[in-house]
Structure 1
Amino acid sequence: MAFQGVRILLAAVVVCLLVAAPCANAAITCSRVATLLSACVSYLRGRSGPIHPPPPPFCCTGLRSLNSLAKTKAERQAACNCLTQLFRGVNLGRARTLPASCGVRIPYPISPTISCST
């Protein structure tokens, strides 16, 4: 009986490894980008004014995480394409200053005419 339990446990572990393995090297998806930057939405849709509030801490954490995930050109392009779809209608001034406000360096300017192919 104990042997049967060990076999079931071993089978469950193998299934978990097979399911998790593709996720470890998975490309950046729009749902992942949306999740990472969900805390930024209200900040990016806010109005600019004379007093510019800082972005929420979780927004900066998500931006840092996304920046560290997007290592290759293909990953940066995927993230860029997602961002252009997900964040239409945001306050461009806040979007442009978000990386600097969070202490994140990105290799391209934020612009409504950005080309994600480069």
Structure 2
Amino acid sequence: MTKVALIVLMACMLIASSHAKATLTCDQVTIWLTPCIPYGMLGGSVSPMCCQGVHSINAAYKNGDDRRLACQCIQDKAAQIPLLDYTRVNQIGELCGSECPFKVYPSTDCSKVK
């Protein structure tokens, strides 16, 4: 009986450890992308600090949970910024030479980001 309990316990530990968890935090995402706000509101040119943040966040993605967390964080923070132009926001990755794994709009369902 103890062997069966031990096997069940080990199986549960393996299953729990196989599920990915987000390694990013919303605070990190916010810090990295705050320099992008002026471009998102006013246009002009994207600052080097903004592009550095975009590259940092893309390098930090370890799994889908990270991308979903970043999407939700960006979406939540963007909703608090008046006059934000989502077309410009979604151009930033390309302007910085970095692909973004999702587009951010008020209607984006971040739970579907892979």
Asked if these proteins are the same fold (TM beyond 0.5), I'd say yes
The residue identity in structure 1 corresponding to 2:109 is S
| Gap regions ≥5 residues in structure 2 | 1-20
- Number of paired residues? 89
Question: Within the alignment, does 1:42 sit opposite 2:38 as a pair?
Answer: yes
Equivalent of 2:76 in 85, 89, 102: 85
RMSD: 1.9
How far is 1:26 from its partner? 7.4
Q: Which residue of 2 aligns with 1:115?
A: 109
* Percent pairwise identity: 28
Q: State which structure, 1 or 2, has the greater radius of gyration over its C-alpha atoms.
A: 1
Give per-residue Cα distances to partners, 1:57-106, cap 9 Å, x unaligned. Answer: 10000011001111300010111111011112421121121111111112
Q: Which residue of 2 aligns with 1:73?
A: 64
CA contact (8 A) 2:41 2:85 kept: yes
d(CA) in 1 for partners of 2:95, 2:27 = 24
**TM-score with structure 2 setting the length:** 0.69
| Gap regions ≥5 residues in structure 1 | 1-24
Segments of 4+ in structure 1 off by > 4 A? none
